[in-house]
């Protein structure tokens, strides 16, 4: 085994590792070269990345993006993993230890690592290093052939429209308002919003829905498409990345109307299924809503945390990205 910084020329091999992990663990979250490059764009590869080589092949990699601030605390994230064919060969422990060391060097208070629940080896390793499970997430899926879609029912006084650029800034502000007190959700500035949400190349305006009362945004659901998934699975999928309802409008069925409109748009575009991610600790009853719309759980993941410096408990910060943001 040998190690060294992850370099730009290693990205194709790292993509192969990432997609092999996605296949083995059933997450279905495949990446392209551009996806991976976007993910590491803010990472100092010389100091904050590590490539693990075995028998001349990239066996795994890890990186620690710049820490995020939430509630006055600094939170680092350990990203990466070991190729399934190289698991249980003693590579994951040193990689995780290196990431923890980098988190300390970044003066982080805690480090978070999220792994698929089925990856028993990774979960055991995290437990051995004193990481503790702090939050559980799941991916839910709905096949269009399973049951027919109803018409989106919108209460009197509300209208449903597709995404329009003129509403983009108002939508960002609504999103920040809706999730201001949500667990692990940071406020999105204009750059973050456009980079990871409505300006992301995976965003599909035609597969997105906004519910209005007059000219005020009451609820919304944003749709995305990842062609790499279709390429590797043969199935075209609509991913619902964000769903939100302003507090004063909850209980009126607006999120249901927004999601139904998005689902119908995906079906009209020949998608075979739709998926979304949800925080199981969500207090708004999102899981029950999705189940009532025909979604069923297909995978789950666990967010683990280690206090790398003595500090009070804080919320985690989820990774940016249309698939990683489980902002409900």
**Residue 166 forms part of a structural domain:** yes
CATH number of the structural domain spanning residue 280: 3.40.630.30
pLDDT over threshold 70, residue 80: yes
Residues 86 and 56 in one domain: yes
325: three-class secondary structure by DSSP: coil
274 is a domain residue = yes
Whether 115 is covered by a domain: the verdict is: yes
Q: Is the pLDDT of residue 240 over 90?
A: yes
| Structure confidence by residue, pLDDT tens digits, 308-319 | 984 444 454 454
User: Among 219-233, 247-261, 276-290, 294-308, which is the least confidently predicted range?
Assistant: 276-290
Largest Cα–Cα distance in the chain?
A: 66
pLDDT digits (tens, 9 = 90+) for 26-63: 999 999 999 999 999 999 999 999 999 999 999 999 99
CA distance 309 to 254: 43
Q: Answer yes or no: is pLDDT of 246 > 80.
A: yes
Question: Distance between CA 318 and CA 296 in Å, rounded?
Answer: 23
Report pLDDT digits (tens) over 107-163: 999 999 999 999 999 999 999 999 999 999 999 999 999 989 988 889 999 999 999
Q: What is the pLDDT of residue 183?
A: 84
Verify that 118 and 146 share a domain, yes or no.
no
pLDDT classification of 295: cutoffs 50, 70, 90: very high
172 and 46 both lie in a single domain: no
Q: Does any domain span residue 251?
A: yes
Domain boundary among 105, 130, 155: 130
Could you tell me the residue range of the domain that residue 18 belongs to?
A: 2-130
Instruction: Based on the fold, state whether residues 123 and 185 are members of the same structural domain.
Output: no
Given the structure tokens 């500035």, which residue do they identify? 189
Based on the fold, state whether residues 112 and 245 are members of the same structural domain.
Answer: no
Half-sphere exposure of 164 (CA within 13 A, CB side): 10
Last residue of a domain, one of 130, 153, 181: 130
HSE at residue 18, side-chain half, CA atoms within 13 A, is: 22
User: Same domain for 92 and 164?
Assistant: no
Average confidence (pLDDT) over 208-213? 98
According to the model, what pLDDT value does residue 321 have?
57
For residues 24 and 111, membership in a common domain is answered with yes
User: Over pLDDT 90: what percentage of the chain?
Assistant: 86
Are 78 and 159 in a shared domain? no
Shared domain for 64 and 152, answered yes or no, is no
**How high is the pLDDT of residue 145?**
95
311 assigned to some structural domain: no
Count of domains in the chain? 2
Burial class of 326 by CB neighbour count within 10 A (0 to 12, 13 to 18, 19+): buried
What pLDDT, on a 0 to 100 scale, did the predictor assign at position 322? Answer: 64
Instruction: Specify the pLDDT at position 327.
Output: 35
Residue 22 lies in a domain: yes
| Closest listed residue to residue 305, CA positions, set 153, 22, 112 | 112
When pLDDT is averaged across residues 205-220 and rounded to a whole number, the result is 98
Residue 163 domain-assigned? yes
Looking at residue 135, its pLDDT comes to 95
Domain final residue pick, 73, 95, 130: 130
The pLDDT of residue 72:
83
Quote the pLDDT of residue 150. 87
Q: Could you tell me which residue, 1 or 200, shows the higher pLDDT?
A: 200
213 or 327, higher pLDDT: 213
> Would you state the pLDDT for residue 281?
86
Mean pLDDT of 315-324: 54
Question: Residue written as tokens 């991976």?
Answer: 36
Q: Are residues 115 and 183 in the same domain?
A: no
pTM: 0.91
State the angle between helix axes of 120-128 and 92-105 in degrees (0 to 180), rounded to the nearest 10.
50
Q: Are residues 154 and 88 in the same domain?
A: no
- Whether residue 68 is predicted with pLDDT greater than 70 in this model: the reply is yes
Angstrom CA distances, 124 to 120, 129, 316, 318, stand at: 6, 9, 21, 22
Q: Where are the alpha helices (DSSP H) in the chain?
A: 11-25, 33-39, 45-48, 92-105, 120-128, 168-178, 190-196, 227-233, 254-268, 286-292
146 and 123 part of one domain: no
């Amino acid at each position: 085994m040998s190690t060294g910084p992850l370099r730009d020329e290693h990205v194709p091999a790292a993509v192969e590792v990432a997609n092999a992990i996605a296949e083995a663990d059933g997450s279905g979250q495949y990446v392209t070269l551009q996806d991976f490059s976007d993910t590491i764009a803010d990472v100092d590869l010389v100091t904050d990345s590590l490539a693990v080589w075995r028998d001349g092949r990239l066996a795994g990699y890890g990186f620690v993006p710049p820490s995020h601030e939430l509630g006055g605390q600094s939170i680092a994230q350990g990203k990466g993993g070991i190729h399934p064919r190289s698991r249980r060969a003693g590579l994951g422990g040193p990689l995780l230890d290196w990431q923890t060391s980098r988190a300390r060097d970044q003066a982080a208070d805690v480090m978070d690592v999220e792994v698929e629940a089925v990856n028993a080896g990774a979960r055991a390793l995290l437990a051995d290093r004193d990481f503790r499970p702090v939050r559980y997430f799941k991916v839910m899926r709905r096949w269009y052939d399973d049951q027919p879609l109803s018409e989106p029912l919108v209460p009197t006084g509300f209208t449903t429209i597709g995404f329009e650029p003129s509403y983009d800034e108002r939508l960002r502000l609504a999103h920040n308002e809706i999730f201001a007190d949500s667990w692990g959700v940071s406020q999105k500035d204009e750059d973050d919003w456009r980079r990871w949400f409505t300006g992301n190349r995976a965003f599909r305006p035609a597969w997105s829905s906004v519910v209005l009362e007059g000219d005020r945004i009451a609820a919304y659901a944003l749709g995305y498409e990842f062609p790499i998934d279709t390429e590797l699975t043969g199935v075209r999928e609509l991913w619902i990345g964000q769903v939100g309802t302003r507090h004063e409008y909850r209980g009126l069925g607006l999120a249901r109307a927004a999601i139904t409109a998005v689902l119908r748009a995906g079906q009209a575009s020949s998608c075979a299924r739709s998926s979304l991610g949800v925080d199981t600790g969500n207090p708004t009853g999102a899981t029950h809503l999705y189940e009532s719309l025909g979604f069923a759980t297909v995978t789950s993941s666990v967010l683990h945390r280690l206090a790398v410096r003595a500090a009070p408990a804080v919320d985690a910060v989820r990774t940016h990205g249309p698939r990683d943001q489980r902002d409900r």
